[in-house]
Amino acid sequence: MSMSKAGSALRYLLVSLIFGMFSIGCSEHHNEQNNSGITPDELSLPEQPNIVWLVVEDLSPYLPSFGDSTVRTPNLSRLAKEGICYDRFFASAPVCAPARASIATGMYPTHIAAGHMRTGGNPKYFPEGVTPYEAMPPAGVKMMSEWLRRQGYYCTNNSKEDYQFQKTVTAWDESSKQAHWRNRASEQPFFSIFNFTVTHESQIWAKSEDSLMVDPRLPVDVPPYLPDTEIGRNDVRRMYSNIVEMDRQVGEILDQLEEDGLLEETIIFWYSDHGGPLPRQKRLLYDSGLHVPMIIRFPNKQHAGTRNREMLSFIDLAPTALSLAGIAPKKYMDGIDFLGEYKPAESKKYIHAAADRFDAAYDKNRAVRDQRYKYIKYYEPEKPMFLHVKYRDQMPIMQELYRLRDAQKLTPAQALWFRDHKPTIEFFDTENDPHEINNVANDPAHAEKIEELSKECDRWLKAINDTGLREESALIESLWPNGKQPKVEEPDIKHTATEITLDCNTPGASIGYGWVSDKGQLPEIWQIYDGPMEINEGLTLVARADRIGYIPSNAVYLK
């Protein structure tokens, strides 16, 4: 690390210590809401509030605001002190691309053929014989940002996509490293996502030679399923160091909102895209892979210093954003809005999650959880519990687990992950067993609850027509017959002397358009067609139709 970077890190540590008082935000002085959350009458919001999502990667609730005081996070602790901490928020899948598909659509990944990790493929990790493909929701399903754009919002994403499908041309005003609400041309309301990658699992090994932003002797609690050795502790320290760096980056966005005078006109969501970066966290259906922290701050600190214990899932984010913007959630969405004008009277009782293929390793596991109990069903119990993921092997703590396994020095808790087969089901009392070490599926005292969650799992699988239960090759053939991706038909342009109308024969397609100087040009931003338009004299109309999972149409022009 350069001297300037070292100085910056030291200054940040000092600031963290000085402002450590904020770390009590959620952990000590929070009032607890009831499990039904906030009703629409309990919020005072502009008609179209700005909405900002601050999304971090691969992070469990390792924060002062959620009871872990290992490091200081002054910016998140301030956000927590001025907002609401959500204690029962869960990913729909324990890995990024499937989880992101559900965030973008409000639907379960296994409902839209997005359950296998990175359907588009990565040559280094993709299984042999499988053709890369895109998820394909039913006709009419749009990315949630498109619905907001249709309502007049300026929508930006900075900058990770990775949705299991290519973004549609109508999804964003901007999606790039430069995307920002500051780029909007007017005072229109905005929806802006900022993604923070420093906490990603890859940064455990990629930053292994960097100086830590925490004391290298920092005492850390190592989960019982991981090795409490110096190598293990070093990777845990790196995780906490990355959290400190992420907190600083989040603070920069909060500062920008304040500089622009927008903080009290904006609803801020901060959350993680699934559970932690360490082995037996990411990719598994235990809470270590699914349970994530979320903080929401409302304008003027409404409901500041409270905790919420509703059962919430990633599928609820899209309908909630729409509801806060005054848009009725779409009927195709699997989630419900937990805030805003259209919030239902009753909260959900369960959350659901799935884990299928990870890179080249196939599995087929489903989970249902209520406030206390977790039910996991393994559809291929003959397979080992541990499935090899080459990408993860780059992490020193993973290599340490291999070393201890080969030397037969794993503890009983660590050895559970390396069983040569799975049980048919696992059942955990997460209140008394938060690390999900003790499977009590055979305890008669839990028989009634196990039956309840088993029936709920079966009901859910049937309700969403779970695509992950099919062989992936057969699934791809049903989406892309003969291996050919469907393409949206070109939009039909009709016009009179004063008016233009656009139409597309592909069911559920959206039409984007723009005005350009010459035929052959494309607009920087595709506007969304929603009705007849006046002719723009002196310019050429260009239109393109698109649908999630399809190849967008060719551009068509009208002079």
How confident is the model over 434-481, as pLDDT tens digits? 999 999 999 999 999 999 999 999 999 999 999 999 999 999 999 999
pLDDT, mean of residues 292-318: 98
- The yes-or-no verdict on residue 183 having pLDDT over 80 is yes
pLDDT of residue 23: 37
Q: Are 389 and 479 in the same domain?
A: yes
Among 356, 357, 344, which Cα is nearest to 316's?
344
Q: What percent of the chain has pLDDT over 70?
A: 94
The structure tokens listed for 199 are 């906490």
Q: Are 382 and 411 in the same domain?
A: yes
Q: Write the CATH number for 537.
A: 2.60.40.10
Q: Are 426 and 520 in the same domain?
A: no
So which residues are the catalytic ones? 96
The answer to the question of residue 356 being in a domain is: no
pLDDT, mean of residues 359-384: 98
Q: Are 413 and 502 in the same domain?
A: no
DSSP state of 64: G
> Which range (33-42, 71-80, 96-105, 241-250) has the least confidence?
33-42
Q: Are 500 and 545 in the same domain?
A: yes
Q: Are 479 and 497 in the same domain?
A: no
pLDDT, mean of residues 318-339: 98
State the pTM of this model: 0.94
CA–CA distances in Å: residue 308 to residues 22, 106, 167, 447 = 19, 21, 33, 29
DSSP state of 156: E
CA angle 107, 113, 114 (to 5 degrees): 70
Please give the residue that has the higher pLDDT: either 366 or 33.
366
**Pure H helices in 340-495:** 396-406, 412-415, 447-464, 472-479
Q: From 457, 483, 509, give the residue that closes a domain.
A: 483
The answer to the question of residue 510 being in a domain is: yes
Q: From 460, 483, 506, give the residue that closes a domain.
A: 483
Helix %, strand %, coil % for the chain, to 5? 30, 20, 50
The answer to the question of residue 471 being in a domain is: yes
Residue 553, domain extent: 492-558
Q: Are 474 and 502 in the same domain?
A: no
The structure tokens listed for 134 are 């895109």
Q: Are 477 and 379 in the same domain?
A: yes
The answer to whether 393 and 505 are in contact (CB under 8 A) is: no
The answer to the question of residue 505 being in a domain is: yes
Q: Are 470 and 511 in the same domain?
A: no
Give the tens place of pLDDT for each residue, 251-296. Answer: 999 999 999 999 999 999 999 999 999 999 999 999 999 999 999 9
Q: Are 417 and 439 in the same domain?
A: yes
The answer to the question of residue 522 being in a domain is: yes
Q: Are 426 and 501 in the same domain?
A: no
Count: domains in the chain = 2
The answer to the question of residue 381 being in a domain is: yes
Please give the residue that has the higher pLDDT: either 216 or 559.
216
The answer to whether 94 and 389 are in contact (CB under 8 A) is: no
Q: Are 451 and 388 in the same domain?
A: yes
Among 394, 72, 11, 22, which Cα is nearest to 243's?
72
Please give the residue that has the higher pLDDT: either 269 or 497.
269
The answer to the question of residue 382 being in a domain is: yes
Question: Is the peptide bond between 159 and the residue preceding it cis, with omega within 30 degrees of 0?
Answer: yes
Q: From 465, 483, 501, give the residue that closes a domain.
A: 483
The answer to the question of residue 136 being in a domain is: no
pLDDT of residue 34: 60
